[in-house]
Structures are given as C-alpha cells and as structure tokens.
A and B are shown apart, each in its own frame.
Chain A
Amino acid sequence: MITECPVTRPEGERVLLGHGAGGRLTAELLEGTVLPAFGGRAGPLEDAALLPGSGDLVMTTDGFVVSPLFFPGGDIGSLAIHGTVNDLAMRGAEPLALSVALIVEEGLELGLLEAVLRSLGEAARGVGVPVITGDTKVVGRGAADRLFITTTGIGRRLPGLSPSAAGARPGDAVLLSGPIGLHGTAVLSTREGLGFEADIASDTRPLHRLVAALAPLGDRLRVLRDPTRGGLAAALNEVARDSGVVIDVDERAVPVPPPVAAACDLLGLDPLHVANEGCMTVFVAPDAADAALAALRSLPEGTGAVRVGDVLPADGHPGRVVLRTAVGARRVIDMPLGEQLPRIC
C-alpha cells in the first residue's frame, strides 16, 4: 500500500546517460532511488552478495549493453561471461553456474547473434563454468540497441577468503594486477571511429585464476575490486568509503599503457576514470604484499602486477583517495561524476 503521495519529481529530473557511468551519479541513483525500493540495507555495495542461509554461496547479476557488440580484444558475449565471473571472483568465489538472458532487437543479423553466442559459449567453457539456464526475448526495432545480455552467476567462496570493500585496514598494500584504461578506450575508439583501435585492445578476461592464486593468503587478503565503470578512481573511492580509510596512490606506479595515455591526452579523459574489464585492485596485509605480487605475476593475466599505494588511517578524512603526483605534490582523486565527456581542444 502506498502511504505517501507519489509526488512526481520536479519537471526536468530525468535519468541521464551519466547515471549509468559508474560514478557519483550512479551512486546517487542507487542510494536515492534503486536501493530504497528494496528496503535498502546498510553496508558496502559489493560486487556480489552472499546468498542468505547458504553458507559460502555467492550470487551476482550484471547487464551488458556495450556498443559496438564487437571491439578490439573482445565482444559483448565474452564480456558477459568475464564480467560476471569477475564479480564472483571479487568476493573470493569460484564460479559454479551462470544464467544468460538475451534481449534482441528486431532486425539483428542472425549471423551476428550466432557469433556473439559462440564467443559467450567459448568464454564460459574457458572459465569452466556451465550456463545452466537463460531466457531469450525479441523486442521491436528501436526498443533496444541490437543486443542486451543479462548474466547471473552463482559461486562458492574459496576456503578462508572473505574479501570485502569494507575490509581495507591502515598499513595494507594496494596492488593492481595489470595496466588500466584499455577496455574503455578500445570501446570508445571503435564506437566513435577515432582510429586508436589498431593500438588498443580491451583487457576483457576472467580474473578467477588470479584470485585462486591469492587464496593461500587467507584473511590477509582484505579487498578485491575490479575497476570497471568509473575506472580505478571509482573503485578506490568505493573501498576508501566503505572501509573508512585513506588510500594513498603513487601516480608514477599506476601502469597506463602508452596508447591509452596518448588517447586520453587527446580526448581530455583521465585514465583513472576509464573502464577496465581485466584487472583488479588487491588490498593485502603489509606482510603479504610480496607473496601476493609473486602469486599474481605467476599467471599470464597478472604479469603486470604492481604495488601502487598504501592504506593510511582515516586521520579525520575517511573515504579520501590521495594521489602523489609526478612532480611531488598531492591531490585528491575524486569520484568521477558521470559520463566521460571529451573536451573541446
């Protein structure tokens, strides 16, 4: 029963594209509109949730609306598997099973759909997780952008692991499993025909093997977060907020591939705000940093792992992320706002 008058919002307030960009606008939409509808609970927003009353079972769901459907380094099919597997992995879980729902726009070439699904199937087999259920809907032309995929995943946490966005503690080392900015710039370049495609490929890939390699660290593994929408800046801000700490990052240690740096420079984008699909931030106890780096570097997807910073006490400023700049000053890395808008010149 509605107990309050359902007053409409003031004229002009509508959902903007930026509400889906993973930054401050997304957080506002979740906290102000989405979560209250479900009786919004307190606590950190994790990549995946523990299934109530089911021990170590973890569940996540994710929508994929990437355009174009194929981009250098991947496609929406493999992305749908990797993204969901990674959400499970970020809670320390190995994937058990997936469901896939397709929303197909009338007119999509059947060959293209087959190619996407072939890639999706190959990616699932590559991870070793079965797609056990799903749904397929077709909507009229104009009601969707060719193909949307929603993937749900169930996983089981590896023994001894319970990483959480709220788990960072002062003294922890902040690691990054590989270079940043590849996925976002690859997709943007392909979609807009910017000509960087030859140099940049998406980093889309599953991260569950890296997480398995970190399993021996047990509870010294504090936080896992894959910096997807909103980029590294959003991921670090979320961890700093949910853990109530300050995160201190050395700009020179953050690996930005030269073509990504060049593309971002030209477009006026910040690589820290650009989406990734194949790297993760790892927060570990200080005495576990070397072991964690060695474990990450032992696998092909983690050869570029580096330590990028440290967790500091809140010191009156919980939730702050600070960057030590190349010239030796410090600045705050803020949560990105919404859409990344290329600058004028």
Chain B
Amino acid sequence: MKYLDEYRDPELARRLLDELHRTATRPWRLMEVCGGQTHTLVRQGIDELLPAGMRMIHGPGCPVCVTPLETLDRAMAIAARPGVILTSFGDMLRVPGSDTDLLALRARGADVRVVYTPMDAVRLAEEHPGRDVVFLAVGFETTAPANAMAVLHASRLGLRNFSVLVSHVLVPPAMTALLDSPECGVEAFLAAGHVCAVMGWTEYEPIVARHRVPVVVTGFEPLDLLEGILMATRQLEEGRAEVENQYARAVRRGGNGAARAAVARVFQVTDRSWRGIGDLPRSGLELRPEFAAFDAARRFDVDRLRPAEHPECVAGGILTGALLPTDCTAYGTRCTPRHPLGAPMVSAEGTCAAFHAAGRVAAGVTGVVGVGEGNGS
C-alpha cells in the first residue's frame, strides 16, 4: 500500500533487526515516550525481537492514561448536568473516574458524544444554541493546536454555549522529571514524531546536553520504530548524545510555526498533575485569562471535587517505566479492558491494554504468549 507498505516491509524490517543485533553490544534500555509507539511495538511484537537483554521501557505518553482523575471526575460531573452535551475523543469515554465512566453515564441518559475533531464540538454548539456543549480537551502537544483553533473559532463566532475542560500535558517536562529521578534507568529516548511535528525538537536539545542522553525523533510505523531504535543504539554504542531525526518526512527542527502560534495565543504553561505520576511543574497547558469565558471548570464550578484512585492500580509505576503491566498483581485478573482499574488498561495506547490485547500474561502463569520468534542472530 502506498505510503504505508513502505514502512511495513518485512524484508527491510529483517535487515534493520539484523543490523541492530550486530550493533548492540550491551543490554541498552530505551524509552519510547509515546503510547502510539508502544502500541506498534507490542502489536507487531517488535520488542520481542530485540537483542538479548535490550529493553524498551514504555513511557508516559498515553494522553488518556495521564489525564488526572480529577479532570475525569469533573467531566462526569458536568456531563450529568441537565442541558449539557459533553464531547470528547472516543477513547476518553471508557476511562474510569472515581466512581464511573462516561460510557456508563451515557447509558444512564447523559448526552455524551464522540467527536473526531474539536471543531465538531463547536459545530454542535452552533446547532444547539439552547444546550451547553463542553469539549474535554486533553492530550499532548499534538492535539493542542486543534483545540486552540476550536476556542479561537468559537470566540470569533461569539458562542456563549461552548466551553472546554482543558487538561493538556507537555512531553519535555515529563522526560526531565524521569531523568531527574534517581531510579531512572532510561539510557535513550524515542521522541514522539507527531509531537515534534508540532513543536520541533529544540526543547530536547538542553535535555540531551544536560543528561547526556540520546533522543531520536521517531515515527509510528514498524520500520520507523526499528530505525529509531537502531539510531539510538548507534549513539549509545558510539558514546554520542544528540537529537537525531528519524521522522524527517514529517518533522522539522522548528516544528509547525502556525500551530505553535495558535497554541501560544490560547494557552499558557501551568503546573499539572499527571495521573499515576503526580505533580510536575510547568508540565501542562491551561487557557489564558482572556479566554476564561470558555473554561468549563469555571463555568460549571467543579473545582472542588476530591477524586479517589483505585488503591490497587499501579499506573504510576507503569507510566514511568518502573513496572511492566505483567508485574502488577491485578493485571489480567481484577484489571482487564472489561473492568479497568486504571487508565493504562483503557486506551489502545495504554501499556497495559497493549499488553493485554497482545495476549501477554504474567511470567509464571500458564500460557505465556506473544513471544517472538527471534531472528537467530
């Protein structure tokens, strides 16, 4: 298939794997930050084909997973109000809050709708002037430009029945927090290609210089990931620490100027709590004061909710790469995609859900599956 087959060619994959096996002399530990990359790695079984001992640590880059519980509880409190249409992307709907999730609320009569872009939510507000349309605006730098454009468009239209519940998070502060942690075992990063398509990679340069850790901007297809892993491994083997760009077909050093400008106009950097990780300074985006009229949290007065995380969920360990899903005592038994205890089991990009979908079970449990064939080198 044009534009996709080129990045899924089995023969090229085999050659990259052989090259990786020839290159790696030590059991390096690489982190892919993005949940989409985790999904490809696990879905294709790439992480099972790596040289012996080499490990991919699955990072905190699933936007669904790191959205704080209090944001979800706020969204549900708003959705339960009469006259509200609550909108969000599909995979936010099954994330468990303190008590329930948005799909269950919908089954009880709340008007919860999946949208494909935030502009769909703006259109809904135009079509339903008597209703309050709220868009749950979460995600990394990737989704922030479109959400900013929606707010700008609603502002231009003078819509008074449109608001956003904002909980954006930023990648570089999370990487810095991980590297600052004494337990951090990450020796190189694969940076998320789509985040860099928006923001470029200049923000990674001081991180690389300070921590002497290679960063490779990487795409999402199997060959992208294999090449990104190979490039990072070469840097490690040669003692280099640079930002390299595997995803040159989509990413420039300065990112997308228009997208960055829209984000800067609507949002400002703020401290943010990450679900499972905790508070990270200057790691999120919030609406600038001039757009306060579009702030759903303020409009619906849901700032005082006290969320309660499920005590058994070890999402923090999963999201920082300290634990594998299969290390969790609830994984696959009390915590499944059917009954998730925490967010990493919900989204297709969540590490626990990716492991579960690939049939991986805890070591020692009968039926270890998803094991690759290895390439014999």
A17 to B43, alpha carbons, bound, how many Å?
26
A124 to B162, alpha carbons, bound, how many Å?
48
Partner of A252, one of B10, B91, B94, B103: B10
Which positions 6-55 of chain A face chain B at CB distance < 8 Å?
12, 14-18, 24-25, 28
A262 to B5, alpha carbons, bound, how many Å?
11
Partner of A328, one of B1, B64, B348, B373: B373
Cβ-defined contact, A342 with B114, below 8 A:
yes
Cβ-defined contact, B91 with A342, below 8 A:
yes
Partner of B370, one of A261, A327, A332, A345: A332
Partner of B369, one of A18, A320, A339, A344: A320
Taking each of A15, A17, A329, A331, which has the highest tally of chain B beta carbons within 10 Å of its own beta carbon? Answer: A329
Interface size of B by CB at 8 A reads 58
Partner of A258, one of B2, B46, B49: B2
A192 to B4, alpha carbons, bound, how many Å?
24
Known contacts A14-B107, A16-B107, A317-B367, A328 near B356 by CB under 8 Å? no
**Residue in chain B with minimal CB distance to A332:** B359
CB-defined contacts of B359 to chain A, threshold 8 Å: 320, 331-332, 334
B357 touches A (CB below 8 Å): yes
A14 to B358, alpha carbons, bound, how many Å?
28
Binary contact track B228-243/A, C-beta < 8 Å → 1, others 0? 0000000000000000
Give the distance to chain A from B223, nearest Cβ to Cβ, in Å.
8
Interface residue tally of chain A, by bracket?
35 or more
CB-defined contacts of B49 to chain A, threshold 8 Å: 327-329
CB-defined contacts of A331 to chain B, threshold 8 Å: 42-45, 358-359, 369-370
A199 touches B (CB below 8 Å): no
Taking each of A252, A330, A334, A341, which has the highest tally of chain B beta carbons within 10 Å of its own beta carbon? Answer: A341
Known contacts A18-B103, A25-B338, A344-B347, A330 near B371 by CB under 8 Å? yes
Cβ-defined contact, B8 with A326, below 8 A:
yes
B142 touches A (CB below 8 Å): yes
Cβ-defined contact, B1 with A258, below 8 A:
yes
A316 touches B (CB below 8 Å): yes
Q: Which residues of A contact B (CB under 8 A)?
A: 12, 14-18, 24-25, 28, 192, 194, 252, 258, 261-262, 265, 267-268, 316-317, 320, 322, 325-332, 334, 337, 339-345
Can you add 19 more A-B contacts, CB < 8 Å, to A261-B4, A316-B367, A330-B45? A14-B107, A14-B108, A24-B338, A194-B116, A268-B348, A325-B45, A327-B226, A329-B45, A329-B46, A330-B372, A331-B359, A332-B359, A332-B369, A341-B90, A341-B91, A341-B94, A342-B90, A343-B348, A344-B63
9 residue pairs of the A-B complex, CB under 8 angstroms, read A25-B338, A268-B349, A327-B17, A328-B375, A332-B370, A341-B90, A341-B91, A345-B139, A345-B143
